[in-house]
A and B are shown apart, each in its own frame.
Chain A
Amino acid sequence: EAEVAQSPRYKITEKSQAVAFWCDPISGHATLYWYRQILGQGPELLVQFQDESVVDDSQLPKDRFSAERLKGVDSTLKIQPAELGDSAMYLCASSLSGGPYEQYFGPGTRLTVT
């Protein structure tokens, strides 16, 4: 069964350092999402890609966060500099075009900023 891959699974970094997360969506899925999930909360969308184009990044803190999906396949989310409040689970999801309700999530990257 095809799955969304993410790495690393866990990351501990000091504040003010840079950190990057990688996501490989299910093959053929044109839409890719990055979410942030704070402990005890539901996921919140950070950025949505359709192929290589950003569709929605209205909730992405652009002063420190960036995301790219250069060839319309895998994607990288970067935080620079990391802050204590960035500690959370970062989830990647993908879907076929036209079906935002059938989003398939990866296992996530748990980030701890010390």
Chain B
Amino acid sequence: AQSVSQHNHHVILSEAASLELGCNYSYGGTVNLFWYVQYPGQHLQLLLKYFSGDPLVKGIKGFEAEFIKSKFSFNLRKPSVQWSDTAEYFCAVFSLSNDYKLSFGAGTTVTVRA
């Protein structure tokens, strides 16, 4: 079955550490890629998105993601995390081959220790 995979279920790190969250998808053809974040007690909100062009995209709060087409990956990075980055992070993919449904990965819980 076609899917979106997030490799890490729970990541714990200290402030100022670098963060990288993996996301792989199995849909062929054109895809639109998203990372969403859900802070404790808050709505899901968009961190960044990729449609086309430069495969390195920058989002809010210092996050960036790199689309590697050959690896079907869209990994999220932040060079130096803060305690306020503690949240759940979701990778999501729109694909024509999936009838343009937005499919989410299982999510990665990130805990940043002060």
Binding between chains A and B = no
On B, residues with C-beta under 8 Å from A are none
